[in-house]
Structure formats: C-alpha cells, structure tokens
Structure 1
Amino acid sequence: MTDIEISTPITRLLGIRVPVVQAGMSWASSSPALPLAVSGAGGLGVLAAGPMRTDDFIEALARLRESNRPFAVNLPLYRPGADEFIEHLVSHPVPIIVASQGGPKKHLARLREVGTRWLHVVSTVEHAEKAATAGVDGLVVVGGEAGGHPPADLVSTMVIVRAVRNALPDIPLVASGGFADGAGLAAALSLGADAAQFGTRFIASHESNVAPTYRQRIVDATVDDTDVVGRDLDVIRMLSNDFSKQMLELENTGAPLDDRKTAFLASTLKDAALHGDTIAGKVEAGQSAGLINTIEHAADIVDTIVAEYLDVVAHLPAAIRTTA
C-alpha cells in the first residue's frame, strides 16, 4: 500500500510512512532480511544486534544502508561488547537506535551528534521520565503482554502506555505488547501512542531468521498458551513447553534461587530460534501469538495491518449529540 501514509509524531521523527515498528528480536531480526522487508513496506525495520558477531553486524548494516530506507538498530546496552558496537555506530552512523536494558546517558550525546535518533525502551513511568530527562528522542513503552522480556510486574500495555503518556504528554511514543493487527494499531494510537511495535507477528513471517518449527508454534498458539518464567532472574514470556513447565514447578514450590538459576540457564532462545528446539528451548513470544494464524511475507503483514487499521477507523461509531 505504497500510496498510504499515516502521519504521526513518530512517523515524522523517523521518516517512515506508517506507524508500524518491527521489534528488535534476537535471532528473529538479527539478519537484514526482516528489517529490510519492513522498512521497504513503509514501517520501521529493526536489526537486533544482541546476539550478533561484530563482522556479521557490520555486514548487515551495510546491506541496510544500501536500501536508502530508514531502519533502526536495537542494542541491549548490557550486552558484552556493546561499547564496541557503539563505536562503530558513531563512526558509521545509522538513522535510529532503539536502546534497551541500560540507561542512555553514557552514549546518548555521541549518537545524537552524528545524527542518530535515540528511542529508549522502558516499562515503567519512572524509567520513562529518566530517559526523557536524559534527552532521548522517543520511547518504546512495553507492557506485560509482550514476549521476550516484559516488565516484571506485568502491568498491561493499556495501562502503562496511558500512564507514561499522562506523565509525558509531548514525547514521541511507541506502544509495545499485545499488538498483532490493524485493530491493535488503532488501539495503540487511541491510547496516546504514536506508533505500535509488533514483535510476535513478525516472527511468523517468511523473513524472520528462526527455525520453521518456531514459526509454526506461533501459528498454533492460543491466547493463553504463554508462560512467564524467570522470577528473580530474567523474566521472560514464552510459549508453554517442557522448559517453562519445569521453571514454573520450581518457582511455585519455592525452590532455591541457585536451583532455579541452573535450570533457567540450561535453556536458551538460541536453542529454539536457530536449532528449532521448541520443547526445551526458550520459545519467546507474546500473548498476541493467539491472534496469529498465518505465516506471511513481512511486507504483506505491514500492508495488512495498515488496511485493517483503516477499516477499523472507518467503522468506529460516530458520536451523536442528543438533546435534553
């Protein structure tokens, strides 16, 4: 739908055509294919740098730059080697960075100096206010429905987005967690966000860099087919499997932290995403998996979200003024 533009503060800030942001997902978008497809369709494609080796990271950035489309790099700031990646982004600037799992103050000024827009991932009002005070360009606000790393308190997207918007009425804001379609985009914008971020929906795309069994688990999932595990460790939301059931059993029976940590670290996202182990691997996904029934090309997903959004908005009930 190259003739459609939905203008919001986020689309104007980032130079994209529609307010559809693809989440930076380790392994799923740790290669150029998915972000290229999403950016090419008018949304914001995001390269997930978290698990990438330096050479692969540099090569992927070169391919993304060749597209002449806006794109972003998601960089977890706690990642070993994050400073090395930052140095490369300073000397070889990218349009946008989506920073997570760490504060922005250390690197923000240098990235801003080379023209990079900085979006910061937050899940509480307190962290949102700190990031805004530090001078970030915008926020990605994550609610409890999200896959991967939701907020530990699991406050819903509907509530946390409204709370952040009330606290910070002017900052560009992307809502994340629970969105899978055009109705979700309409809901995000009605909450006061300027775009919606879609993660699980894009895992179920042909361009996502995950094993076919992982994609199929997304399609087969129901809305209540996720577990939240890793209490006191590194909370993740994932599709229910033998690993998540083991973790829940340990947590619910009060197993010592060391025992839970051993079990938690024995399974990885890489096991599921690259090796296809959806039984014992960490199959990270959000509750929106229950709304996803097909595996599509990423560009078609963007187009469908936009078409559904337009249809939803067109059919919202009109207000009727009544007389006393």
Structure 2
Amino acid sequence: MTRISTSVTGLLGIDLPIVQAGMSWASSSSALPVAVSNAGGLGVVAAGPMRLPDLARVLTEVAAGTPRPWAVNLPLYRAGVDEVIELVLRHRPPVLIASQGGPRRYLERFHGIGTRCLHVVAGVPHALKAAAAGVDGLVVVGAEAGGHPPPAMVTTSVLVRAVAAAVPSTPVIASGGIADGAGLAAVLALGAGAAQFGTRFLASTEASVHPAYKEAVVAAGVDGTRTVGHGLGVIRALDNDFTARMLALEESGAEEDSRRKAFQAATLRDAALHGEVAEGKLEAGQSAGLVDSVLPAADIVARIVREYRAARAGLPPIT
C-alpha cells in the first residue's frame, strides 16, 4: 500500500495523512469511516447527534469492518456527554477527536485504554492549553471550514502555520478549505502532519446524507457558502433560502429573538436526512467549489494521493 510518512501517520498508525472529518449525519454511520480507514486514511464516526444505542451499534460495525485505525469525534457540549464518554470507552476506539470543551475532561481515561487523543482548536491560545494538558495531537480549523468555523475567522493557511510554530512538538492536522492533493501538499508545507477533509467526503457515495445535499455540494462554487448565525453560534453553509433570510435579518439589525427563531427553524438534520436543500442548514466549506463529483470514498483517497504526487512533482527545483 502507498505510504506518506508524517508525524501524524506515525502517531496514529495510518498509511496516509488523510483524515475524514467527523460530520454529523454524514459519518454518523459506519460506511464512510470504514471505507476511509480501509483505504489508508483515518475514518471518523461523528457521535454528536447519535443516540446511545445507535452509537453503540455503529462503533461495533466499524470495529468489525476495518482492521485499521479509526476514530470517534465527540463534541463535549452535547447533551449526556458523560454517558457518551462511558460508552465510547467501552468500545476502545484507537483514536478520539474531541471538541468544544477542555481535554482534561476525558484525557486520562482514554489514555488509560491506549487511545490516541486529538483535540480540535481554533486559535493559538487554545492550542497551547491543549498541548500543555497532554493531548497527542491537534486538529486546527480555519475559517474556510464548513459547520462551525473559528470565531476569529482566521484562514487555515495562517492559523496552521501559527499553531505549528507555537507547538512544534505536537502533531497538527489542518482542516478547512482542503479538498484535493494540492491542498494536502500545501498544509504539509505549512507544518501540518495531515489534512482533514470534510466537504470532499460529504460528496462521497458512503456519506449518509440525502443525494440532494451531495448534489448541492457539487453544484456550489468557491463563493457559494455563507457564514450566518452571528452571535448565535456561527455556521458556514451553502447559500440557500435559509442563509439569504438570515443574512437579511443580520444586515437589517433585527432583534436577537427574531434572528434566533429563524436560525433555529432550520436544521442540519432536515438537510441531511430529508434533502431539504432550500430551508435546511446545508453545512459545507468553501472547498465545495473544488468538488466536482460524488465518488466512492476509496476513490477519493486514491485521487488525493495522485494529486499530491502531481503537486510535489510540479514544484520548481532550487537552482
């Protein structure tokens, strides 16, 4: 099997520095994580929206479906998180990716069973704190990312470089705006040890979202996303009737209550499960404009590797 050796592949025991983002609903099932891990990357189960019985079933399926390392993504703010942590511990995932909370809440218990622990950060101060707490690696999310971008809206290229310089002994995974092998080569040059791909794997055959959602990703341009929900929990989503309405409310200075009602009336669940592409929250990153087709996850991994080789070969030599 092809290998690209980096600090992250060595840490996690994977062949390729390709991490599939934990995406609510899209990877809240076993098919996508299993396919990515079997292709040499790191497949990630999104535990955020899952009920405990469903999560237990999916973790069992993933463990049975691949002999390779895989991960669970856990937002620490979700309801009943302590019960979720206990369930995940029983399934002994090779890797945990946690976000939206402090690492000390989980670190000792997962290290105790041999799990590698990665923490999602959106700035240098958070990276320094997480590294000092003893996490094994960091996922650094830039402004281009779909879902919840960093509050300061610093781009991936700047933020990854800043974090890599601030914590040089901690492996870094870059996330946000990366959809192909050229993007992988770019973030490795910035000091990351891997790239996390979200929107690219959202448009995969194994992603468990409605076909209309995937088609909307493929149809989007690089300027086809909007950030909305300012003051309410900003998200980046594909431009649709929902984002247009939110932008109009925000630009007109509407009261928070009106904005909150409009924001909460739309859901990611409706978009993902029911194909509500006009009024749902079609969370996706700016890299949607670089996605041109829905492909099997293994083909996406192979394509990223080919593009990475081409990007490296195309760099001018030093003379």
Under a length normalisation based on structure 2, what TM-score does the superposition of the two structures give?
0.99
Q: Which residue of 2 is the match for residue 247 of structure 1?
A: 246
Q: Is the 8 A contact 2:59 2:91 kept in 1?
A: no
- Counterpart Cα distance in 2 of 1:208 and 1:314: 32
Q: Which residue of 2 is the match for residue 35 of structure 1?
A: 33
Q: Is the 8 A contact 1:221 1:290 kept in 2?
A: yes
Q: Which residue of 2 is the match for residue 286 of structure 1?
A: 285
User: In the TM superposition, what is the alpha-carbon distance from 1:298 to its structure 2 partner?
Assistant: 0.3
What does residue range 102-117 of structure 1 map to in structure 2 within 5 Å? 102-117=101-116
Q: Which residue of 1 is the match for residue 7 of structure 2?
A: 9
Q: Which residue of 2 is the match for residue 155 of structure 1?
A: 154
- Counterpart Cα distance in 1 of 2:172 and 2:230: 28
Q: Which residue of 1 is the match for residue 117 of structure 2?
A: 118
Q: Which residue of 2 is the match for residue 298 of structure 1?
A: 297
- 1:95-136 deviations in Å (ceiling 9; x for gaps): 000001111111111111111111000011011111111110
Q: Could you tell me which amino acid in structure 1 is paired with residue 115 of structure 2? A: T
Q: Could you tell me which amino acid in structure 2 is paired with residue 64 of structure 1? A: V
Q: Which residue of 2 is the match for residue 230 of structure 1?
A: 229
User: In the TM superposition, what is the alpha-carbon distance from 1:305 to its structure 2 partner?
Assistant: 0.1
- Counterpart Cα distance in 2 of 1:86 and 1:270: 23
What does residue range 306-317 of structure 1 map to in structure 2 within 5 Å? 306-317=305-316
1:105 aligns to what SS in structure 2?
helix
User: In the TM superposition, what is the alpha-carbon distance from 1:93 to its structure 2 partner?
Assistant: 1.1
User: Structure 2: 5+ residue runs without aligned partners?
Assistant: none
Q: Could you tell me which amino acid in structure 2 is paired with residue 314 of structure 1? A: A
Q: Is the 8 A contact 2:204 2:295 kept in 1?
A: yes
Q: Could you tell me which amino acid in structure 1 is paired with residue 31 of structure 2? A: A
Q: Which residue of 2 is the match for residue 25 of structure 1?
A: 23
User: In the TM superposition, what is the alpha-carbon distance from 1:169 to its structure 2 partner?
Assistant: 1.0
Q: Is the 8 A contact 2:60 2:91 kept in 1?
A: no
Q: Is the 8 A contact 1:50 1:75 kept in 2?
A: yes
Q: Which residue of 2 is the match for residue 64 of structure 1?
A: 62
- Counterpart Cα distance in 2 of 1:287 and 1:92: 34
- Counterpart Cα distance in 1 of 2:47 and 2:255: 33
Q: Could you tell me which amino acid in structure 1 is paired with residue 271 of structure 2? A: A
Q: Could you tell me which amino acid in structure 1 is paired with residue 50 of structure 2? A: M
User: In the TM superposition, what is the alpha-carbon distance from 1:154 to its structure 2 partner?
Assistant: 1.2
Q: Is the 8 A contact 1:21 1:43 kept in 2?
A: yes
Q: Which runs of 4+ in 1 moved over 4 A?
A: none
Root-mean-square deviation (CA), in Å? Answer: 0.7
In percent, how many aligned pairs have the same letter?
60
Q: Which residue of 2 is the match for residue 271 of structure 1?
A: 270
User: In the TM superposition, what is the alpha-carbon distance from 1:166 to its structure 2 partner?
Assistant: 1.2
Q: Is the 8 A contact 1:89 1:111 kept in 2?
A: no
Q: Which residue of 2 is the match for residue 145 of structure 1?
A: 144
- Counterpart Cα distance in 1 of 2:91 and 2:238: 37
What does residue range 62-101 of structure 1 map to in structure 2 within 5 Å? 62-66=60-64, 67-101=66-100
2:44 aligns to what SS in structure 1?
strand
Q: Could you tell me which amino acid in structure 1 is paired with residue 46 of structure 2? A: A
- 1:242-263 deviations in Å (ceiling 9; x for gaps): 1001111111111111111111
Q: Could you tell me which amino acid in structure 1 is paired with residue 176 of structure 2? A: G
Q: Could you tell me which amino acid in structure 2 is paired with residue 233 of structure 1? A: L
- 1:54-81 deviations in Å (ceiling 9; x for gaps): 1110111111111221000000000002
User: In the TM superposition, what is the alpha-carbon distance from 1:89 to its structure 2 partner?
Assistant: 2.3
User: In the TM superposition, what is the alpha-carbon distance from 1:198 to its structure 2 partner?
Assistant: 0.3
Q: Could you tell me which amino acid in structure 2 is paired with residue 257 of structure 1? A: E
**Higher mean C-alpha deviation, range 295-304 or range 251-260:** 251-260
User: In the TM superposition, what is the alpha-carbon distance from 1:315 to its structure 2 partner?
Assistant: 1.7
Alignment counterpart, residue 53 of structure 2, candidates 22, 45, 55 = 55
2:103 aligns to what SS in structure 1?
coil
- Counterpart Cα distance in 2 of 1:90 and 1:312: 40
1:216 aligns to what SS in structure 2?
helix
Under a length normalisation based on structure 1, what TM-score does the superposition of the two structures give?
0.97
User: In the TM superposition, what is the alpha-carbon distance from 1:90 to its structure 2 partner?
Assistant: 2.3
User: In the TM superposition, what is the alpha-carbon distance from 1:88 to its structure 2 partner?
Assistant: 1.6
User: In the TM superposition, what is the alpha-carbon distance from 1:226 to its structure 2 partner?
Assistant: 0.4
Q: Which residue of 2 is the match for residue 258 of structure 1?
A: 257
- Counterpart Cα distance in 1 of 2:138 and 2:19: 12
Q: Which residue of 1 is the match for residue 167 of structure 2?
A: 168
- Counterpart Cα distance in 2 of 1:47 and 1:89: 11
Q: Which residue of 1 is the match for residue 43 of structure 2?
A: 45
1:274 aligns to what SS in structure 2?
helix
User: Structure 1: 5+ residue runs without aligned partners?
Assistant: none
